[in-house]
């Protein structure tokens, strides 16, 4: 079993969303069965380490021709990783209440996977976000990511915890409720909610696999 986490921040270091994604993957790993002690159950893919060109809208993928951009960049390597995944978690910072351009490039460029017999169909999907502001566009980012997964035929799940106190997605903000600033490492709600996303993705992926 493999859960792949995609960190959608363009930052090479000190990414808040990467920290939360690691929490989610740790939590997923706690319950994922391993085939042998050598095989990894989780893998974190940083978009910042790849060249991902924008989609040019040429529709080669609709004609089931190879994407011409993939001859020039790293998208085939990413597709290879995604094909192996049972679960996928995307963690993205809020950039003007949407996702950073490099992650949107990945999303758009994954269209060939849809056109090639829905290669991402039935993979379990969870979303995490982080924003600077307390009210910084977290919900539109989660909504965008979940709709992306739905259009790829994935099985979208959320964080499931206490029905009264816990929200449905992983996320938080650098800004505290009283307007101060903090590190995501001090954002307990963001950590706990991200861990719940990881756990839920792993639980559902495992139960589907055992059916």
Ligand X SMILES: Cc1cc2nc3c(=O)[nH]c(=O)nc-3n(C[C@H](O)[C@H](O)[C@H](O)COP(=O)(O)O)c2cc1C
Residues 6 or more apart in contact with residue 13 via CB below 8 angstroms: none
Q: Does 11 bind ligand X (CB under 6 A)?
A: yes
- Which listed residue (39, 80, 96, 179) binds ligand X by CB under 6 A? 96
Q: Does 136 bind ligand X (CB under 6 A)?
A: yes
Q: What does the alpha-carbon distance between residue 175 and residue 68 come to, in Å, rounded to a whole number?
A: 42
SS3 90: strand
Q: Does 93 bind ligand X (CB under 6 A)?
A: yes
Q: What does the alpha-carbon distance between residue 106 and residue 41 come to, in Å, rounded to a whole number?
A: 23
Nearest to 176 by CA among 166, 186, 163: 186
Q: How far is the CB of 97 from ligand X (least distance, A)?
A: 5
Q: What does the block give as tokens for 107?
A: 């999303």
- Which listed residue (15, 22, 27, 110) binds ligand X by CB under 6 A? 15
Upper half-sphere CA count for residue 180 (Cβ side, 13 Å): 6
Of residues 17-56, which lie at the interface with ligand X (CB under 6 A)?
17-18
The residue at minimum Cβ distance from ligand X is 136
Q: What does the alpha-carbon distance between residue 123 and residue 11 come to, in Å, rounded to a whole number?
A: 27
Q: Does 132 bind ligand X (CB under 6 A)?
A: yes
Q: Does 130 bind ligand X (CB under 6 A)?
A: yes
Q: How far is the CB of 199 from ligand X (least distance, A)?
A: 21
Of residues 142-171, which lie at the interface with ligand X (CB under 6 A)?
none
- Which listed residue (95, 125, 148, 169) binds ligand X by CB under 6 A? 95
């Amino acid at each position: 079993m493999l859960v792949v986490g995609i960190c959608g921040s363009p930052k090479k270091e000190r990414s808040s969303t990467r920290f939360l994604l690691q929490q989610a993957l740790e939590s997923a790993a706690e319950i994922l069965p391993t085939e042998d002690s050598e095989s990894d159950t989780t893998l974190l893919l940083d978009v910042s380490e790849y060249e991902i060109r924008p989609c040019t809208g040429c529709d080669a993928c609709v004609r089931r021709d190879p994407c011409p951009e993939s001859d020039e960049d790293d998208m085939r390597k990413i597709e290879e990783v995604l094909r192996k995944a049972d679960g996928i978690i995307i963690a993205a910072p809020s950039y003007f209440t949407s996702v950073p351009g490099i992650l949107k490039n990945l999303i758009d460029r994954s269209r060939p996977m849809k056109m090639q017999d829905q290669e991402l169909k039935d993979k379990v999907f969870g979303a995490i976000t982080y924003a600077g502001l307390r009210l910084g566009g977290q919900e539109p980012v989660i909504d965008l990511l979940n709709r992306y997964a739905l259009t790829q035929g994935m099985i979208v799940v959320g964080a499931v915890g206490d029905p009264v106190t816990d929200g449905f997605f992983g996320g938080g903000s650098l800004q505290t409720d009283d307007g101060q600033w903090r590190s995501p490492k001090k954002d307990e709600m963001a950590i706990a909610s991200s861990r719940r996303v990881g756990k839920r993705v792993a639980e559902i992926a495992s139960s589907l696999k055992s059916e």
